[in-house]
Chain A
Amino acid sequence: MGAQLRIYRRRIRSVKATKKITRAMELISASRIVKAQQRVAASTPYANELTRAVSAVATFSNTDHPLTTESTNPKRAAVLIITADRGMAGAYSSSAIKEADGLVITLKERGLEVNTYLVGRKAVNYFKFRNRPIKNSWTGFSDNPTYAHAKTIADELIPAFIADAATDINGVDELHIVYTEFKSMIAQIAMNKRMLPLEVVEAEGPAPAGLLPMYEFEPNAAEVLNALLPRYIESRVYNALLQSAASEHAARRRAMKSATDNADELIKSLTRLANAARQAEITQEISEIVGGADALASASAGSE
Chain B
Amino acid sequence: MSDKTLTVEFVTPERRVFSGKAISLSARTLEGDLGILVDHAPLLGVLVDGKVSIEGVDGSVQEFEVSGGFISVANNRISVLGESATQ
Q: Which residues of A contact B (CB under 8 A)?
A: 39, 42-43, 45-47, 49-50, 52-53, 56-57, 146-147, 150-151, 212-219, 223-224, 227-228, 231, 234-235, 238
CB atoms of B16 and A45 under 8 A apart: yes
Q: A218 with B34: in contact, given A45-B11, A49-B81 (CB under 8 Å)?
A: yes
Number of A-B contacts (CB under 8 A): 85
Q: Which residues of B contact A (CB under 8 A)?
A: 9, 11-16, 29-31, 34, 41-46, 69-70, 72, 74-75, 79, 81, 83-84
What residue in chain B is nearest A212 (Cβ atoms)?
Answer: B74
Question: Shortest Cβ distance from B53 into chain A, in angstroms?
Answer: 18
A-side contacts of B84, CB under 8 Å = 147
Secondary structure call for the A interface: helix
Q: A216 with B72: in contact, given A49-B9, A50-B81 (CB under 8 Å)?
A: no
A231 and B29 CA atoms in complex are apart in Å by 16
A-side contacts of B11, CB under 8 Å = 45-46, 49
What residue in chain B is nearest A50 (Cβ atoms)?
Answer: B81
Q: Which of A150, A214, A223, A235 contacts B46 (CB 8 A)?
A: A223
CB atoms of B81 and A217 under 8 A apart: no
A217 and B44 CA atoms in complex are apart in Å by 5
Secondary structure call for the B interface: strand
Question: Shortest Cβ distance from B81 into chain A, in angstroms?
Answer: 5
What residue in chain B is nearest A146 (Cβ atoms)?
Answer: B14
Most chain-B CB neighbours within 10 Å: which of A45, A50, A57? A45
A-side contacts of B29, CB under 8 Å = 218-219
B-side contacts of A214, CB under 8 Å = 42
A150 and B14 CA atoms in complex are apart in Å by 12
Question: Shortest Cβ distance from B46 into chain A, in angstroms?
Answer: 5
Question: Shortest Cβ distance from A276 into chain B, in angstroms?
Answer: 58
CB atoms of B16 and A57 under 8 A apart: no
B-side contacts of A50, CB under 8 Å = 70, 81
A-side contacts of B42, CB under 8 Å = 213-216
- What are 17 A-B pairs with beta-carbon distances under 8 A? A46-B13, A49-B81, A53-B70, A53-B72, A53-B79, A146-B14, A147-B12, A147-B14, A212-B74, A213-B42, A216-B43, A216-B44, A219-B46, A223-B30, A223-B46, A231-B70, A238-B13
Q: Which of A43, A52, A218 contacts B45 (CB 8 A)?
A: A218
CB atoms of B44 and A219 under 8 A apart: no
A-side contacts of B44, CB under 8 Å = 53, 56-57, 215-218, 224
CB atoms of A228 and B30 under 8 A apart: no
Nearest 7 interchain pairs by C-beta: A218-B45, A213-B42, A147-B13, A46-B11, A213-B74, A49-B79, A45-B11
